[in-house]
Structure 1
Amino acid sequence: MKLSWKRALRPAAALAGVLALVLLPATTAAAAEQSAPRSAAAASSGWNDFSCKPSAAHPRAVVLVHGTGGNSVDNWLGLAPYLVNRGYCVFSLDYGRLDGVPFFHGLGPIEDSAGELSAYVDRVLAATGTDEVDIVGHSQGGMMPRYYLKFLGGADDVHTFVGIAPSNHGTTLLGLTKLLDLFPGLEDAIGGSAPALTQQVAGSGFLQRLNDGGDTVPGVEYTVIATRYDQVVTPYRTQFLEGPNVRNILVQDRCPVDISEHLTVALVDRVTFHETVNALDPAHATPANCFS
Protein backbone atom coordinates (compact mmCIF):
# COMPACT_ATOMS: atom_id res chain seq x y z
CA MET A 1 0.00 0.00 0.00
CA LYS A 2 2.78 2.43 0.84
CA LEU A 3 4.34 1.99 -2.58
CA SER A 4 1.02 2.51 -4.34
CA TRP A 5 0.34 5.63 -2.28
CA LYS A 6 3.70 7.12 -3.25
CA ARG A 7 3.13 6.33 -6.89
CA ALA A 8 -0.28 7.97 -6.75
CA LEU A 9 1.26 11.18 -5.46
CA ARG A 10 3.91 11.39 -8.15
CA PRO A 11 1.62 12.98 -10.78
CA ALA A 12 0.45 15.57 -8.25
CA ALA A 13 4.01 16.37 -7.29
CA ALA A 14 4.92 16.66 -10.94
CA LEU A 15 2.06 19.07 -11.56
CA ALA A 16 3.04 21.18 -8.57
CA GLY A 17 6.58 21.31 -9.89
CA VAL A 18 5.48 22.28 -13.38
CA LEU A 19 3.20 25.00 -12.06
CA ALA A 20 5.94 26.29 -9.78
CA LEU A 21 8.38 26.53 -12.68
CA VAL A 22 5.98 27.73 -15.35
CA LEU A 23 7.45 30.52 -17.42
CA LEU A 24 10.73 30.80 -15.54
CA PRO A 25 13.08 32.83 -17.69
CA ALA A 26 15.41 30.89 -19.97
CA THR A 27 18.28 32.87 -18.47
CA THR A 28 17.92 31.19 -15.05
CA ALA A 29 21.68 31.11 -14.55
CA ALA A 30 21.86 34.86 -15.04
CA ALA A 31 19.30 35.32 -12.29
CA ALA A 32 21.90 34.27 -9.75
CA GLU A 33 23.74 37.55 -10.34
CA GLN A 34 23.11 40.73 -8.38
CA SER A 35 20.00 42.50 -9.72
CA ALA A 36 21.27 46.04 -9.09
CA PRO A 37 24.23 45.89 -11.55
CA ARG A 38 21.99 44.40 -14.24
CA SER A 39 19.40 47.13 -13.73
CA ALA A 40 22.11 49.77 -13.87
CA ALA A 41 23.43 48.27 -17.09
CA ALA A 42 19.94 48.36 -18.56
CA ALA A 43 19.54 52.02 -17.63
CA SER A 44 22.91 52.98 -19.04
CA SER A 45 21.95 51.55 -22.42
CA GLY A 46 18.71 53.55 -22.51
CA TRP A 47 16.43 50.89 -21.03
CA ASN A 48 14.67 51.98 -17.84
CA ASP A 49 16.12 55.45 -18.33
CA PHE A 50 13.53 57.78 -16.81
CA SER A 51 15.14 60.76 -18.52
CA CYS A 52 14.21 59.31 -21.93
CA LYS A 53 11.73 61.42 -23.90
CA PRO A 54 9.70 59.81 -26.69
CA SER A 55 10.42 61.16 -30.16
CA ALA A 56 8.04 62.30 -32.87
CA ALA A 57 8.72 59.00 -34.65
CA HIS A 58 7.90 56.96 -31.54
CA PRO A 59 5.70 59.21 -29.40
CA ARG A 60 4.80 56.67 -26.70
CA ALA A 61 6.99 54.86 -24.19
CA VAL A 62 6.91 51.07 -24.21
CA VAL A 63 6.30 49.25 -20.93
CA LEU A 64 7.48 45.63 -20.85
CA VAL A 65 5.65 43.21 -18.53
CA HIS A 66 7.43 39.96 -17.70
CA GLY A 67 5.88 36.51 -17.32
CA THR A 68 5.31 34.25 -14.33
CA GLY A 69 8.62 33.55 -12.62
CA GLY A 70 10.34 36.21 -14.69
CA ASN A 71 11.68 39.62 -13.81
CA SER A 72 12.15 43.05 -15.32
CA VAL A 73 15.59 42.28 -16.74
CA ASP A 74 15.98 38.60 -17.64
CA ASN A 75 12.70 38.37 -19.54
CA TRP A 76 13.71 41.23 -21.86
CA LEU A 77 17.41 40.75 -22.57
CA GLY A 78 16.60 40.39 -26.26
CA LEU A 79 13.56 42.55 -26.97
CA ALA A 80 14.41 45.59 -24.82
CA PRO A 81 17.71 46.37 -26.61
CA TYR A 82 16.01 45.65 -29.93
CA LEU A 83 13.45 48.37 -29.21
CA VAL A 84 15.96 50.81 -27.73
CA ASN A 85 18.14 50.51 -30.82
CA ARG A 86 15.12 51.52 -32.90
CA GLY A 87 14.56 54.70 -30.95
CA TYR A 88 11.93 53.68 -28.38
CA CYS A 89 11.88 54.72 -24.74
CA VAL A 90 11.64 51.37 -22.99
CA PHE A 91 10.72 50.60 -19.39
CA SER A 92 10.11 47.38 -17.45
CA LEU A 93 8.84 46.58 -13.98
CA ASP A 94 8.93 43.81 -11.43
CA TYR A 95 5.50 42.82 -10.16
CA GLY A 96 3.85 40.05 -8.16
CA ARG A 97 6.79 39.61 -5.81
CA LEU A 98 6.60 37.23 -2.87
CA ASP A 99 8.42 37.83 0.40
CA GLY A 100 11.69 35.96 0.50
CA VAL A 101 11.63 35.04 -3.21
CA PRO A 102 14.25 36.99 -5.18
CA PHE A 103 14.48 37.23 -8.97
CA PHE A 104 11.40 35.08 -9.69
CA HIS A 105 8.35 37.34 -9.69
CA GLY A 106 4.82 37.40 -11.09
CA LEU A 107 3.65 34.91 -8.47
CA GLY A 108 1.31 37.05 -6.36
CA PRO A 109 -2.42 37.59 -6.98
CA ILE A 110 -2.93 38.85 -10.52
CA GLU A 111 -5.39 41.53 -9.41
CA ASP A 112 -2.70 43.03 -7.17
CA SER A 113 -0.14 42.78 -9.96
CA ALA A 114 -2.46 44.75 -12.24
CA GLY A 115 -2.55 47.46 -9.59
CA GLU A 116 1.24 47.53 -9.55
CA LEU A 117 1.24 47.89 -13.34
CA SER A 118 -1.22 50.79 -13.07
CA ALA A 119 1.05 52.64 -10.65
CA TYR A 120 4.10 51.97 -12.83
CA VAL A 121 2.38 53.26 -15.96
CA ASP A 122 1.47 56.44 -14.07
CA ARG A 123 5.14 56.83 -13.16
CA VAL A 124 6.24 56.38 -16.78
CA LEU A 125 3.62 58.86 -18.02
CA ALA A 126 4.76 61.44 -15.50
CA ALA A 127 8.42 60.98 -16.42
CA THR A 128 7.91 61.08 -20.19
CA GLY A 129 5.23 63.79 -20.22
CA THR A 130 3.01 61.77 -22.56
CA ASP A 131 -0.66 60.84 -22.40
CA GLU A 132 -0.38 57.17 -23.35
CA VAL A 133 2.02 54.23 -23.31
CA ASP A 134 2.23 51.00 -25.26
CA ILE A 135 2.48 47.72 -23.36
CA VAL A 136 4.27 44.55 -24.47
CA GLY A 137 3.92 41.51 -22.22
CA HIS A 138 4.98 37.87 -22.17
CA SER A 139 2.84 34.98 -20.90
CA GLN A 140 1.11 36.22 -17.72
CA GLY A 141 2.45 39.64 -18.70
CA GLY A 142 0.56 39.29 -21.97
CA MET A 143 -2.68 38.62 -20.10
CA MET A 144 -2.51 40.49 -16.77
CA PRO A 145 -2.59 43.97 -18.37
CA ARG A 146 -6.04 43.10 -19.72
CA TYR A 147 -7.27 43.25 -16.10
CA TYR A 148 -5.70 46.69 -15.80
CA LEU A 149 -7.34 47.79 -19.05
CA LYS A 150 -10.76 46.40 -18.17
CA PHE A 151 -11.14 47.05 -14.45
CA LEU A 152 -8.57 49.68 -13.42
CA GLY A 153 -9.08 52.36 -16.05
CA GLY A 154 -5.99 51.47 -18.03
CA ALA A 155 -7.69 51.87 -21.40
CA ASP A 156 -7.40 55.64 -21.00
CA ASP A 157 -3.61 55.40 -20.72
CA VAL A 158 -2.74 52.63 -23.20
CA HIS A 159 -2.72 52.87 -26.98
CA THR A 160 -1.36 49.47 -28.07
CA PHE A 161 -1.07 46.17 -26.21
CA VAL A 162 1.07 43.32 -27.55
CA GLY A 163 0.78 39.92 -25.87
CA ILE A 164 3.51 37.36 -26.58
CA ALA A 165 2.47 33.77 -25.77
CA PRO A 166 -0.19 35.13 -23.39
CA SER A 167 -2.31 33.04 -21.03
CA ASN A 168 -5.46 34.85 -22.14
CA HIS A 169 -7.84 31.94 -21.64
CA GLY A 170 -5.70 29.88 -19.32
CA THR A 171 -3.66 26.76 -19.84
CA THR A 172 -4.14 23.01 -19.55
CA LEU A 173 -0.35 22.46 -19.39
CA LEU A 174 -0.75 19.73 -22.01
CA GLY A 175 -3.52 18.20 -19.88
CA LEU A 176 -1.60 18.12 -16.60
CA THR A 177 -3.97 20.54 -14.89
CA LYS A 178 -6.63 17.80 -14.87
CA LEU A 179 -4.67 16.31 -11.99
CA LEU A 180 -5.93 19.15 -9.80
CA ASP A 181 -9.35 17.48 -9.84
CA LEU A 182 -7.86 14.16 -8.72
CA PHE A 183 -6.05 15.49 -5.66
CA PRO A 184 -8.33 17.58 -3.45
CA GLY A 185 -6.45 20.33 -1.69
CA LEU A 186 -3.60 20.47 -4.19
CA GLU A 187 -4.99 23.53 -5.97
CA ASP A 188 -5.49 25.35 -2.68
CA ALA A 189 -1.98 24.45 -1.55
CA ILE A 190 -0.38 25.76 -4.75
CA GLY A 191 -2.64 28.79 -4.95
CA GLY A 192 -2.02 29.65 -1.32
CA SER A 193 1.71 29.86 -1.94
CA ALA A 194 1.70 31.44 -5.41
CA PRO A 195 -1.82 32.53 -6.41
CA ALA A 196 -0.92 33.52 -9.97
CA LEU A 197 -0.15 29.91 -10.84
CA THR A 198 -3.64 28.52 -10.27
CA GLN A 199 -5.29 31.72 -11.52
CA GLN A 200 -3.87 30.89 -14.96
CA VAL A 201 -5.32 27.39 -15.11
CA ALA A 202 -8.05 27.15 -17.76
CA GLY A 203 -11.48 27.66 -16.21
CA SER A 204 -10.26 29.50 -13.10
CA GLY A 205 -12.59 32.00 -11.47
CA PHE A 206 -10.16 34.78 -12.24
CA LEU A 207 -10.14 34.04 -15.96
CA GLN A 208 -13.91 33.67 -16.08
CA ARG A 209 -14.27 37.17 -14.67
CA LEU A 210 -11.58 38.60 -16.94
CA ASN A 211 -13.11 37.19 -20.12
CA ASP A 212 -16.77 37.66 -19.24
CA GLY A 213 -18.32 40.17 -21.61
CA GLY A 214 -15.59 39.99 -24.26
CA ASP A 215 -11.84 39.83 -24.65
CA THR A 216 -11.13 43.48 -25.40
CA VAL A 217 -12.07 47.02 -24.42
CA PRO A 218 -12.63 49.95 -26.81
CA GLY A 219 -9.81 52.32 -27.57
CA VAL A 220 -6.91 49.86 -27.36
CA GLU A 221 -5.19 48.13 -30.29
CA TYR A 222 -4.40 44.48 -29.49
CA THR A 223 -1.84 42.17 -31.06
CA VAL A 224 -1.28 38.56 -29.97
CA ILE A 225 1.83 36.66 -31.07
CA ALA A 226 1.76 32.89 -30.49
CA THR A 227 3.86 29.90 -31.46
CA ARG A 228 2.55 26.50 -32.46
CA TYR A 229 5.21 24.87 -30.28
CA ASP A 230 4.16 26.50 -27.02
CA GLN A 231 4.40 23.81 -24.35
CA VAL A 232 3.22 25.95 -21.41
CA VAL A 233 0.12 27.86 -22.52
CA THR A 234 -1.85 25.10 -24.20
CA PRO A 235 -3.68 24.67 -26.48
CA TYR A 236 -1.80 27.51 -28.16
CA ARG A 237 -4.90 28.85 -29.94
CA THR A 238 -6.43 29.77 -26.58
CA GLN A 239 -3.92 32.62 -26.53
CA PHE A 240 -5.74 34.42 -29.32
CA LEU A 241 -8.30 37.14 -28.66
CA GLU A 242 -11.55 38.05 -30.36
CA GLY A 243 -12.59 41.63 -30.98
CA PRO A 244 -12.65 44.46 -33.51
CA ASN A 245 -9.21 45.80 -32.55
CA VAL A 246 -7.28 42.49 -32.61
CA ARG A 247 -4.49 41.07 -34.76
CA ASN A 248 -3.69 37.42 -34.00
CA ILE A 249 -0.34 36.26 -35.37
CA LEU A 250 1.05 32.73 -35.45
CA VAL A 251 4.83 32.82 -35.77
CA GLN A 252 4.85 29.80 -38.08
CA ASP A 253 2.59 31.63 -40.54
CA ARG A 254 5.48 34.07 -41.02
CA CYS A 255 8.25 31.47 -40.88
CA PRO A 256 7.17 27.81 -41.18
CA VAL A 257 10.53 26.50 -39.93
CA ASP A 258 10.52 28.62 -36.76
CA ILE A 259 10.57 26.24 -33.78
CA SER A 260 10.43 28.80 -30.97
CA GLU A 261 8.61 27.59 -27.87
CA HIS A 262 7.10 29.43 -24.91
CA LEU A 263 10.30 31.00 -23.60
CA THR A 264 12.36 31.54 -26.72
CA VAL A 265 9.48 33.17 -28.60
CA ALA A 266 9.88 36.19 -26.30
CA LEU A 267 13.61 35.99 -25.64
CA VAL A 268 15.22 35.58 -29.05
CA ASP A 269 12.63 35.12 -31.80
CA ARG A 270 13.18 37.59 -34.64
CA VAL A 271 9.67 37.16 -36.06
CA THR A 272 8.25 38.13 -32.67
CA PHE A 273 10.54 41.15 -32.44
CA HIS A 274 9.63 42.25 -35.97
CA GLU A 275 5.89 41.86 -35.44
CA THR A 276 6.12 43.69 -32.11
CA VAL A 277 7.59 46.71 -33.87
CA ASN A 278 4.95 46.39 -36.60
CA ALA A 279 2.27 46.58 -33.91
CA LEU A 280 3.89 49.57 -32.22
CA ASP A 281 4.33 51.44 -35.50
CA PRO A 282 1.80 50.05 -38.00
CA ALA A 283 2.24 53.01 -40.37
CA HIS A 284 5.74 51.73 -41.14
CA ALA A 285 5.11 48.00 -40.83
CA THR A 286 7.05 45.64 -43.09
CA PRO A 287 6.49 41.93 -43.78
CA ALA A 288 8.01 39.57 -41.26
CA ASN A 289 9.59 36.33 -42.43
CA CYS A 290 12.36 33.87 -41.59
CA PHE A 291 14.96 36.47 -42.48
CA SER A 292 13.51 39.37 -40.47
Structure 2
Amino acid sequence: MSFEPRFPTPVIYLHGINSRTRAFRQNAEYLRDRGYWVWGYDYGDQLAPGVRGIGDLDAIVGDVAENVDRVLTRTGAEQVDIVAHSQGGLMTKLYIAAGGAEKVRRVVAMGANFHGTDFHGRVSWMGPLLTDHPWLGRLFATRGASQQLAGSAWAAERAGIPDTDPRVVYTSLYSPADTVVTPNSASALRDEGADVANIDVAEWYDGYAPHHSLMPRDPLFAVLTEWGLSREPGDHTPPRVEWI
Protein backbone atom coordinates (compact mmCIF):
# COMPACT_ATOMS: atom_id res chain seq x y z
CA MET A 1 0.00 0.00 0.00
CA SER A 2 1.42 3.37 -1.00
CA PHE A 3 1.62 6.22 1.49
CA GLU A 4 1.30 9.87 0.51
CA PRO A 5 2.42 12.10 3.40
CA ARG A 6 0.52 15.29 4.11
CA PHE A 7 3.66 16.91 5.52
CA PRO A 8 6.97 17.15 3.66
CA THR A 9 9.28 16.80 6.68
CA PRO A 10 9.90 13.19 7.76
CA VAL A 11 9.78 12.35 11.46
CA ILE A 12 12.59 10.24 12.91
CA TYR A 13 12.32 8.58 16.32
CA LEU A 14 15.24 8.28 18.76
CA HIS A 15 14.65 5.82 21.58
CA GLY A 16 16.27 5.78 25.01
CA ILE A 17 18.91 3.57 26.59
CA ASN A 18 18.14 -0.15 26.81
CA SER A 19 15.27 0.32 24.36
CA ARG A 20 14.39 0.28 20.66
CA THR A 21 12.34 2.22 18.17
CA ARG A 22 9.41 -0.16 18.60
CA ALA A 23 8.71 1.56 21.93
CA PHE A 24 7.21 4.42 19.87
CA ARG A 25 4.80 2.22 17.89
CA GLN A 26 1.58 3.80 19.21
CA ASN A 27 3.01 7.30 18.86
CA ALA A 28 4.19 6.62 15.31
CA GLU A 29 0.84 5.11 14.29
CA TYR A 30 -0.95 8.17 15.67
CA LEU A 31 1.23 10.47 13.55
CA ARG A 32 1.09 8.25 10.48
CA ASP A 33 -2.71 8.21 10.59
CA ARG A 34 -2.60 12.00 10.44
CA GLY A 35 -0.32 12.11 7.44
CA TYR A 36 3.14 12.26 8.98
CA TRP A 37 6.04 10.40 7.37
CA VAL A 38 7.51 8.39 10.27
CA TRP A 39 10.91 6.71 10.39
CA GLY A 40 12.96 4.99 13.05
CA TYR A 41 16.20 3.09 13.53
CA ASP A 42 17.61 1.30 16.53
CA TYR A 43 20.93 2.90 17.46
CA GLY A 44 23.87 2.21 19.74
CA ASP A 45 25.28 -1.12 20.83
CA GLN A 46 23.07 -4.09 21.62
CA LEU A 47 22.55 -5.16 25.22
CA ALA A 48 20.39 -8.14 24.28
CA PRO A 49 18.38 -9.15 21.21
CA GLY A 50 16.07 -6.26 20.44
CA VAL A 51 17.51 -4.03 23.19
CA ARG A 52 19.77 -1.24 21.98
CA GLY A 53 20.96 2.26 22.87
CA ILE A 54 23.95 1.40 25.04
CA GLY A 55 27.55 2.44 24.57
CA ASP A 56 29.67 5.56 24.74
CA LEU A 57 27.49 8.60 24.09
CA ASP A 58 30.06 10.38 21.94
CA ALA A 59 30.17 7.37 19.63
CA ILE A 60 26.37 7.16 19.52
CA VAL A 61 26.18 10.70 18.10
CA GLY A 62 27.69 9.23 14.94
CA ASP A 63 24.82 6.71 14.77
CA VAL A 64 22.31 9.55 15.00
CA ALA A 65 24.03 11.45 12.20
CA GLU A 66 24.06 8.37 9.97
CA ASN A 67 20.38 7.70 10.60
CA VAL A 68 19.36 11.30 9.89
CA ASP A 69 21.32 11.26 6.63
CA ARG A 70 19.76 7.91 5.71
CA VAL A 71 16.24 9.34 6.12
CA LEU A 72 17.11 12.44 4.11
CA THR A 73 18.55 10.30 1.31
CA ARG A 74 15.57 7.94 1.26
CA THR A 75 12.97 10.74 1.27
CA GLY A 76 14.73 13.50 -0.64
CA ALA A 77 13.84 15.91 2.18
CA GLU A 78 16.17 18.67 3.34
CA GLN A 79 15.31 18.41 7.04
CA VAL A 80 13.86 15.98 9.58
CA ASP A 81 11.77 16.38 12.70
CA ILE A 82 13.10 14.41 15.68
CA VAL A 83 10.90 12.80 18.34
CA ALA A 84 13.08 11.54 21.19
CA HIS A 85 12.68 9.83 24.54
CA SER A 86 15.04 9.89 27.52
CA GLN A 87 18.64 9.41 26.33
CA GLY A 88 17.40 10.05 22.80
CA GLY A 89 16.78 13.68 23.78
CA LEU A 90 20.35 14.07 24.96
CA MET A 91 21.62 12.48 21.73
CA THR A 92 19.51 14.96 19.77
CA LYS A 93 21.03 17.86 21.71
CA LEU A 94 24.56 16.57 21.07
CA TYR A 95 23.85 15.92 17.39
CA ILE A 96 22.49 19.43 16.81
CA ALA A 97 25.40 21.01 18.70
CA ALA A 98 27.86 18.99 16.60
CA GLY A 99 26.61 20.59 13.40
CA GLY A 100 23.28 18.94 12.73
CA ALA A 101 21.07 22.01 13.22
CA GLU A 102 20.60 22.72 9.52
CA LYS A 103 19.14 19.24 9.06
CA VAL A 104 16.58 19.51 11.88
CA ARG A 105 13.34 21.52 11.70
CA ARG A 106 11.72 20.57 15.02
CA VAL A 107 12.42 18.52 18.12
CA VAL A 108 9.83 16.96 20.42
CA ALA A 109 11.40 15.38 23.50
CA MET A 110 9.76 13.36 26.26
CA GLY A 111 11.41 12.65 29.59
CA ALA A 112 14.71 13.76 28.07
CA ASN A 113 17.91 13.82 30.10
CA PHE A 114 19.36 17.12 28.90
CA HIS A 115 21.26 18.07 32.08
CA GLY A 116 22.13 14.87 33.89
CA THR A 117 19.91 12.88 36.21
CA ASP A 118 20.35 12.39 39.95
CA PHE A 119 18.32 9.19 39.43
CA HIS A 120 15.81 10.01 42.14
CA GLY A 121 18.55 10.86 44.64
CA ARG A 122 20.61 7.73 44.07
CA VAL A 123 23.56 9.60 42.54
CA SER A 124 24.73 10.67 46.00
CA TRP A 125 26.00 7.13 46.57
CA MET A 126 26.23 5.84 42.99
CA GLY A 127 28.53 8.58 41.72
CA PRO A 128 31.45 8.04 44.13
CA LEU A 129 31.10 4.27 43.77
CA LEU A 130 31.35 4.42 39.97
CA THR A 131 34.26 6.87 40.17
CA ASP A 132 36.24 4.57 42.46
CA HIS A 133 35.22 1.40 40.61
CA PRO A 134 34.50 2.26 36.94
CA TRP A 135 34.19 -1.42 36.06
CA LEU A 136 30.92 -1.45 38.02
CA GLY A 137 29.50 1.10 35.62
CA ARG A 138 30.45 -1.04 32.65
CA LEU A 139 29.01 -4.13 34.31
CA PHE A 140 25.73 -2.81 35.71
CA ALA A 141 24.95 0.65 34.38
CA THR A 142 26.78 0.65 31.03
CA ARG A 143 29.12 3.47 30.10
CA GLY A 144 26.42 5.66 28.59
CA ALA A 145 24.27 5.45 31.71
CA SER A 146 27.21 6.41 33.91
CA GLN A 147 27.98 9.36 31.64
CA GLN A 148 24.44 10.67 32.07
CA LEU A 149 24.56 10.88 35.86
CA ALA A 150 24.49 14.40 37.29
CA GLY A 151 27.99 15.47 38.23
CA SER A 152 29.79 12.86 36.13
CA ALA A 153 33.15 13.81 34.65
CA TRP A 154 31.69 13.32 31.17
CA ALA A 155 28.82 15.74 31.89
CA ALA A 156 31.16 18.31 33.45
CA GLU A 157 33.36 18.34 30.35
CA ARG A 158 30.30 19.09 28.19
CA ALA A 159 28.63 21.64 30.44
CA GLY A 160 29.21 24.36 27.85
CA ILE A 161 27.33 22.61 25.05
CA PRO A 162 24.22 24.68 24.21
CA ASP A 163 20.80 23.21 24.91
CA THR A 164 19.22 24.62 21.78
CA ASP A 165 19.87 26.24 18.41
CA PRO A 166 17.81 29.20 17.13
CA ARG A 167 17.21 27.43 13.81
CA VAL A 168 15.22 24.66 15.51
CA VAL A 169 11.81 24.76 17.28
CA TYR A 170 11.71 22.68 20.47
CA THR A 171 9.01 21.12 22.62
CA SER A 172 10.04 19.25 25.76
CA LEU A 173 7.45 17.15 27.61
CA TYR A 174 8.00 15.83 31.13
CA SER A 175 6.14 14.42 34.10
CA PRO A 176 6.55 14.66 37.89
CA ALA A 177 5.98 10.90 38.04
CA ASP A 178 9.28 10.37 36.22
CA THR A 179 11.74 8.81 38.68
CA VAL A 180 14.46 8.08 36.11
CA VAL A 181 15.28 11.56 34.81
CA THR A 182 15.21 13.70 37.94
CA PRO A 183 14.72 16.42 38.92
CA ASN A 184 12.28 17.54 36.23
CA SER A 185 14.54 20.50 35.52
CA ALA A 186 16.88 18.00 33.82
CA SER A 187 14.24 17.79 31.05
CA ALA A 188 13.69 21.55 30.68
CA LEU A 189 15.55 23.26 27.85
CA ARG A 190 17.14 26.70 27.98
CA ASP A 191 15.89 28.71 25.01
CA GLU A 192 19.22 30.42 24.12
CA GLY A 193 17.45 32.28 21.31
CA ALA A 194 15.34 29.31 20.15
CA ASP A 195 11.59 28.83 20.39
CA VAL A 196 11.21 26.44 23.34
CA ALA A 197 8.03 25.11 24.96
CA ASN A 198 8.77 23.27 28.23
CA ILE A 199 5.61 21.40 29.22
CA ASP A 200 5.02 19.78 32.62
CA VAL A 201 2.02 17.68 31.62
CA ALA A 202 0.68 17.42 35.16
CA GLU A 203 0.35 21.21 35.36
CA TRP A 204 -1.71 21.36 32.16
CA TYR A 205 -3.75 18.16 32.47
CA ASP A 206 -5.14 17.96 36.02
CA GLY A 207 -2.25 16.00 37.49
CA TYR A 208 -2.01 13.47 34.66
CA ALA A 209 1.54 12.15 35.02
CA PRO A 210 2.79 9.06 33.17
CA HIS A 211 5.92 7.27 34.32
CA HIS A 212 9.16 7.55 32.40
CA SER A 213 9.01 4.26 30.51
CA LEU A 214 5.37 4.78 29.44
CA MET A 215 5.87 8.13 27.70
CA PRO A 216 6.63 6.82 24.18
CA ARG A 217 3.32 4.92 24.07
CA ASP A 218 1.19 7.27 26.17
CA PRO A 219 -1.88 8.61 24.28
CA LEU A 220 -1.58 12.15 25.68
CA PHE A 221 2.08 12.30 24.70
CA ALA A 222 1.06 11.27 21.17
CA VAL A 223 -1.34 14.23 20.99
CA LEU A 224 1.35 16.54 22.34
CA THR A 225 3.90 15.14 19.90
CA GLU A 226 1.70 16.23 17.01
CA TRP A 227 1.18 19.61 18.67
CA GLY A 228 4.93 20.06 19.03
CA LEU A 229 5.46 19.27 15.36
CA SER A 230 2.73 21.62 14.16
CA ARG A 231 2.35 24.43 16.72
CA GLU A 232 2.83 28.01 15.63
CA PRO A 233 6.15 29.47 16.77
CA GLY A 234 5.53 31.28 20.04
CA ASP A 235 2.51 29.15 20.92
CA HIS A 236 3.44 27.50 24.22
CA THR A 237 -0.09 26.60 25.32
CA PRO A 238 -0.80 22.91 24.70
CA PRO A 239 -4.21 21.86 23.36
CA ARG A 240 -7.17 20.85 25.48
CA VAL A 241 -7.76 17.12 25.61
CA GLU A 242 -11.31 16.22 26.60
CA TRP A 243 -10.59 12.69 27.82
CA ILE A 244 -8.07 13.75 30.49
TM-score by length of 1: 0.75
Structure 1 residues 200 and 76 mapped into 2: Cα distance closer, same or farther (>3 Å)?
Answer: same
The structure having more radius of gyration, on CA atoms, is 1
Preserved CA contact (<8 Å) 2:45 2:53: yes
Preserved CA contact (<8 Å) 1:255 1:271: no
Preserved CA contact (<8 Å) 1:58 1:87: yes
- Partner in structure 1 of residue 172 of structure 2: 224
Output aligned runs, 1:176-195, within 5 Å: 176-183=122-129, 188-193=134-139, 194-195=142-143
Over aligned residue pairs, what C-alpha RMSD do you find?
Answer: 2.3
The answer to whether 1:271 aligns with 2:223 is: no
Indicate which of 197, 201, 212 corresponds to 2:145. Answer: 197
Structure 1 residues 101 and 213 mapped into 2: Cα distance closer, same or farther (>3 Å)?
Answer: closer
- Partner in structure 2 of residue 139 of structure 1: 86
> 2:66 & 2:130 partners in 1: Cα distance?
37
Q: Deviations over 1:2-24 (max 9, x none)?
A: xxxxxxxxxxxxxxxxxxxxxxx
Aligned-residue identity in percent: 30
- Partner in structure 1 of residue 230 of structure 2: 281
Partner SS for 2:7? coil
Preserved CA contact (<8 Å) 1:223 1:279: yes
Preserved CA contact (<8 Å) 2:97 2:162: no
Indicate which of 48, 60, 79 corresponds to 2:9. Answer: 60
Kindly state the Cα deviation for residue 116 of structure 1 after the two structures are TM-superposed.
Answer: 0.6
Kindly state the Cα deviation for residue 209 of structure 1 after the two structures are TM-superposed.
Answer: 4.1
TM-score by length of 2: 0.88
- Partner in structure 2 of residue 248 of structure 1: 198
Kindly state the Cα deviation for residue 66 of structure 1 after the two structures are TM-superposed.
Answer: 0.5
Partner SS for 2:120? helix
- Partner in structure 1 of residue 67 of structure 2: 120
Q: How many residues align?
A: 237
Kindly state the Cα deviation for residue 80 of structure 1 after the two structures are TM-superposed.
Answer: 1.0
- Runs of 5+ in structure 2 lacking a partner? none
The answer to whether 1:150 aligns with 2:97 is: yes
Preserved CA contact (<8 Å) 1:139 1:167: yes
Preserved CA contact (<8 Å) 1:162 1:222: yes
- Partner in structure 2 of residue 33 of structure 1: none
> 2:161 & 2:212 partners in 1: Cα distance?
28
